[in-house]
Amino acid sequence: MLVSKTSGALSMMAMTCLIGISSLSAQDAPVSNSFQVESQVETQQLVRTNRVQLTLMGAEKAIVAGRKKAEEMGILVNIAVVDEGGHLLAFARMDGARPASVYTSITKATSAATKRGPTGPLPNADAINTHLSLAVERAARASGGKFTTLKGGVPILYGDQVIGAIGVGGATGEQDAEVASAGVSALTSAFKNSSDESRSSNSRWLYQKWLVEDLNGAGVIDNAQTTIQVNQDGSVTGSTGVNRYMGKAKIDGQKLKIEPGPATTRAAGPPALMDQEARFLALLPKVKQYRIDENGLLRLLDSQGKQLLRASPMD
Q: What is the pLDDT of residues 29-49, one digit of tens each?
A: 443 444 344 444 443 444 444
Task: Assess whether pLDDT exceeds 50 at residue 4.
Answer: no
Cα 20–chain centre separation: 7
Burial label for 223, CB within 10 Å (0-12, 13-18, 19+), is exposed
The pLDDT of residue 262:
84
Residues 6+ apart with CB under 8 A from 79: 62, 63, 66, 67, 70, 91, 92, 93, 94, 105, 166, 167, 168, 179, 180, 183
Q: How many residues does the chain have?
A: 315
DSSP symbol at 159: T
Give the model confidence (pLDDT) of 168-201 as tens digits: 999 999 999 999 999 999 998 888 776 555 555 5
The pLDDT of residue 170:
96
The pLDDT of residue 134:
66
What's the whole-number mean pLDDT along residues 135-153? 68
Task: Assess whether pLDDT exceeds 70 at residue 264.
Answer: yes
Burial label for 193, CB within 10 Å (0-12, 13-18, 19+), is exposed
Which one, of 104, 80, 99, lies nearest residue 180 by Cα? Answer: 80
Looking at 5-19, 111-125, 163-177, 251-265, which range is the least confident one? 5-19
Domains and CATH numbers, the chain: 53-201 (3.30.450.150), 207-315 (2.40.128.270)
The pLDDT of residue 47:
45
Are the CB atoms for 279 and 290 separated by under 8 Å?
A: no
The pLDDT of residue 37:
40
